C-alpha cells in the first residue's frame, strides 16, 4: 500500500534596488526588476523545495542550504531544487504533483507560465501547475515592493 504525504511551502522576497539584478521564477528569466536574496531569489524554486521537504519530514531549505554558507551565494535555485528531489528519492519518495501560486504585480506570469511548468515538471518528474496572481494593488506586493509564492506538494512511497 502506498503512503502519501502532503507539504506546503511559502516564500517571499523583496524586489532589488540593483537594476542589473535578474528576475528568475522557476528557472525562467523574466523582465526585471529582479528579486533580492542571497541566492538567485527564485521564490518558486524555494517554496517548492520547502513543500517537498516538509512533506517528507526533512529539514527546511534554510537548514539544508544555509544563507550563512557562501557557497550558496547567487546559487542557482533550480539546482538546489534538484538536490531536494534527490534527497527525497534517496528516502524512497516520488513526487505525485505540485500546485503553485506566484503572487506578484508585474510582470504578468501568463506569457512564461508554460515554460515554467514544463521545466519544473521535467525536474520533478511530475505534473506541476503554476498560477500567477496579482495582489490587486494592495499591500507590499501591490506596491511592487516584493513578491510571494505558495506551493502545495503531494509525494508518495510504495
Q: Which residues bind Zn ion (CB under 5 A)?
A: 11, 46
CB of 92 to Zn ion, least distance (A): 27
CB of 157 to Zn ion, least distance (A): 27
Residue with cell 523574466: 30
E strand map for 31-145: 94-103, 128-133
Question: Residue 37's closest CA among 153, 142, 147?
Answer: 147
Q: Which is nearer to Zn ion, 46 or 113 (CB)?
A: 46
E strand map for the chain: 3-14, 23-25, 28-30, 94-103, 128-133, 146-157
Q: Which residue is nearest to Zn ion (CB)?
A: 46
CB of 97 to Zn ion, least distance (A): 22
Q: Which is nearer to Zn ion, 50 or 92 (CB)?
A: 50
Tell me if 130 sits within 8 A of 104, measured CB to CB. no
Q: Which is nearer to Zn ion, 25 or 85 (CB)?
A: 25
CB of 7 to Zn ion, least distance (A): 16
Q: Which is nearer to Zn ion, 38 or 94 (CB)?
A: 38
Amino acid at each position: 500500500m502506498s503512503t502519501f504525504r502532503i507539504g506546503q511551502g511559502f516564500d517571499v522576497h523583496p524586489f532589488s534596488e540593483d537594476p542589473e539584478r535578474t528576475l528568475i521564477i522557476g528557472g525562467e528569466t523574466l523582465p526585471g526588476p529582479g528579486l533580492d536574496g542571497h541566492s538567485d531569489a527564485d521564490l518558486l524554486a524555494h517554496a517548492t523545495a520547502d513543500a517537498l521537504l516538509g512533506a517528507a519530514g526533512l529539514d527546511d531549505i534554510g537548514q539544508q542550504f544555509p544563507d550563512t554558507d557562501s557557497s550558496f551565494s547567487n546559487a542557482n535555485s533550480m539546482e538546489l531544487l534538484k538536490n531536494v528531489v534527490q534527497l527525497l528519492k534517496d528516502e524512497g519518495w516520488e513526487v505525485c504533483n505540485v500546485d503553485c501560486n506566484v503572487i506578484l504585480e508585474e510582470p504578468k506570469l501568463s506569457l512564461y507560465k508554460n515554460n515554467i511548468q514544463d521545466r519544473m515538471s521535467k525536474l520533478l518528474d511530475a505534473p506541476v501547475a503554476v498560477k500567477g496572481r496579482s495582489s490587486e494593488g494592495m499591500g507590499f506586493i501591490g506596491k511592487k515592493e516584493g513578491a510571494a509564492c505558495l506551493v502545495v506538494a503531494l509525494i508518495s512511497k510504495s
